[in-house]
Structure 1
Amino acid sequence: MNRLILRATACAALMSAALLAAPQVRAEDAANPDYAAIVAAPDRSDADRQVDQRRQPAEMLTFAGVKPGMTILDMAASAGYSTELLARTVAPSGKVYAQDSATVLERFVKDKFDTRAKAPAMKNVVHVVRDYDDPIPPEVKDLDMITFFFFYHDITYLPVDRAAMNKKMFAALKPGGLLVIADHSAKTGAGTGVAKTLHRIEESTLKQEIEAAGFKLVAEGDFLHHAEDPKDIPVFKAPVPIDEFVLKYQKPQ
């Protein structure tokens, strides 16, 4: 009996030594996804890979700080390009709410989102069809992040109460939650005046509107800046890369 006890004790000691000798995985490393690998996933579509060339999704996910387990609202999800990337990143335990208005879905997106939603990568996505100035279901609270990519300028010429929309986004975030917003740059002084014709918005105008809701600017990304863009050409007809700004806001703790 004593011999068995001694043998068990020796085995336990050897296991403990092996565990101590093994390289330890830091919590911060485990929480930081390999964004490049997510973008390079073999089951992503060729069409999305074409969009990657101008959207730089690995840099965007890194800048935003998207992590597994997060709950995120993707405003103006459209056909779901960004929604799917977010869903892949927050998986397996996170969730993404993909918002769009019924009017935009019917006129411009048709069944594109529904087709994408059938993919396994979208299993943690909830499609939210609501108006932009009332975008969040009442049961959705304490979001970790809201993303709003390249559509805020369109909101400015639609019948949307932007101040109400921004306040509701603010309210839906948990304290310390983030709003990451990107759009096409307009010339200084243009405001929202070229939103419908050029599909651009002046950065300072967008900042003023977002900050009026209580958001605090915490970071600005330069990875989509293109100084060669004269900012006076419609986005969809520009012969050069479009200058775009990326902003990260936080709801104060």
Structure 2
Amino acid sequence: MNRSILRRTAVSTALAAVALLIAQDVRAENAASPDYAAIVAAPDRTDADRLTDQRRQPAKMLAFAGVKASMTILDMEASAGYSTELLARTVGPSGKIYAQDSADVIAQHVKDKFDTRAQKPAMKNVVHVVRNYDDPIPPDVSNLDMITFFFSYHDMTYMPVDRAVMNKKMFAALKPGGFLVIADHSAKPGDGASVGKTLHRIEESTLKQEVEAAGFKLVAEGDFLHHPEDPRNMPVFKASVPIDEFVLKYQKPQ
């Protein structure tokens, strides 16, 4: 009888230990997964950014990318900083965002807008990186968790940028297992990289070929910004229908 009681006690103790480990794993996973909807809904975000949210679907984008607290991320062609701020809010004070742009683009288009945004408390963990696109990584930066390139890779096709060099530099800057997340406006099959300046689009297959040539491996594709009603033959800023956009997640092999 005593042995039976001891066996039951041992089994109960083991089951309790297993349950505790499972609960700890669940709590750890929940802690590692930010509430993206709450981040997007933060009351101190601007009305202009909320208007942009309607077409950008930022909660879905952050979830697809897998942005987590404490990450270190390079945001390529940060422009006025819409995505940069969302990334900064998500990685939190223990993370860091490098917001990259070239000196020419800043001077001509976005300096005042980015500088104004940079005063916000949410941007305290952001470092503004002013470097050419084909040499975007500061020499003291390495082992990045993620690089984001949102809706601007097509700009590289009509600017004096060596895209092959740029892609290799991004690959080298990521830690093994790190991610490159790219979204852009879709061009028609056959357009390749020829309509970047006129339509602000790029053919998805062309972008894939260029990025994969640097060593990146495609691990996921998002369909939440696809709009098949878009004929893909008009400039994105003048389109009368929602723009068809592709979202790709690449990984640097371990």
Structure 2 Cα separation of the partners of residues 120 and 181 of structure 1: 27
Equivalent position amino acid for 1:27 in 2: A
Q: Which residue of 1 aligns with 2:148?
A: 147
Residue 117 (structure 2) aligns with: 116
Q: Find the counterpart in structure 1 of residue 253 from structure 2.
A: 252
Give the deviation of 1:70 after TM superposition.
0.2
Q: CA RMSD in A?
A: 1.0
2:163 corresponds to: 162
**Which letter does structure 2 place at the counterpart of 1:109?**
V
Query: Sequence identity of aligned pairs in percent?
Result: 83
TM-score (norm 2): 0.90
1:30 equivalent in alignment to 2:31: yes
Match of 1:135 in 2: 136
How do 1:190-205 and structure 2 match up within 5 A?
Answer: 190-205=191-206
CA-to-partner distance for each residue in 1:157-209, whole Å, 9 max, x for gaps?
10001100000000000000000000000000100111111110000000000
| Gap regions ≥5 residues in structure 1 | 1-19
What code does the residue aligned with 1:57 have? P
Deviation at 1:110, TM superposition (A): 2.9
Give the distance between the partners of 2:121 and 2:194, measured in 1 at CA: 41
Shift of 1:92: 2.0
Distance in 1 between residues matched to 2:110 and 2:70, nearest whole Å? 28
Matched with 1:237 is 238
Q: Which residue of 1 aligns with 2:100?
A: 99
TM-superposed CA distance for 1:42, in Å, is 0.2
Paired with 1:193 and 1:137, the residues of 2 have a C-alpha distance of 30
Partner of 1:68: 69
- Equivalent residue pairs, number: 232
**1:173 matched to which residue of 2?**
174
Letter aligned with residue 113 of structure 2:
K
C-alpha separation between the residues in 2 aligned to 1:96 and 1:119?
A: 14
SS in 1 for 2:176: strand
Matching residue's letter, 2:213: A
Q: State how far apart, in whole Å, the 2-side matches of 1:223 and 1:36 are.
A: 15
Corresponding residue number in structure 1 for 2:9? none
What is the DSSP-based 3-state SS (H/G/I as helix, E as strand, rest coil) of the residue aligned with 1:175?
strand
Kindly state the Cα deviation for residue 26 of structure 1 after the two structures are TM-superposed: 1.4
DSSP 3-state at the match of 1:114: helix
Structure 1 runs (4+) greater than 2 angstroms displaced: none
Amino acid of the structure 2 residue aligned with 1:163? A
Partner amino acid for 2:248? L
Query: Aligned partners of 2:70, 2:32: CA distance in 1, in Å?
Result: 9
Name the residue aligned to 2:54.
53
Residue 168 of structure 1 aligns to which amino acid in structure 2? K
Question: What secondary structure is seen at the aligned counterpart in 2 of 1:110?
Answer: helix
